[in-house]
Structure 1
């Protein structure tokens, strides 16, 4: 933990929120809150973790990275 008021703690989640808004939220119109929750879940579980590569983990998807470094027995 860093000291109180250190904004570096939120850097990663704020970056994720920025990507989420640019790639999903601003491109679609949702009829209900339930529909928005469903689409956000699908985006994170299916696209963001399944297909989108990340430079910070060697241009792997998060799923590939997990399988590479933490193989299932």
Structure 2
């Protein structure tokens, strides 16, 4: 994402995009086991869904 910004106002208006793209999507964090916040959150979502799938599989067993 090597974008050019028109001026300081453009930068201020688009800072949220930068944070979402770079900080949350790419930057690795040591506190998150060197994952990006997006990757870490996706892993948590997957962990939350796996126990539900396991319970549903047990309920469907004869």
Moved over 4 A (4+): none
| Cross-structure match for 1:54 | 29
Higher relative contact order (CA 8 A, sep 6+): 2
Q: CA RMSD in A?
A: 2.5
Structure 1: give runs of 5+ residues left out of the alignment.
1-28
- Whichever of the two has the greater Rg, that structure is 2
Structure 2: give runs of 5+ residues left out of the alignment.
50-62
TM-score after normalising by structure 2: 0.56
Deviation at 1:70, TM superposition (A): 1.8
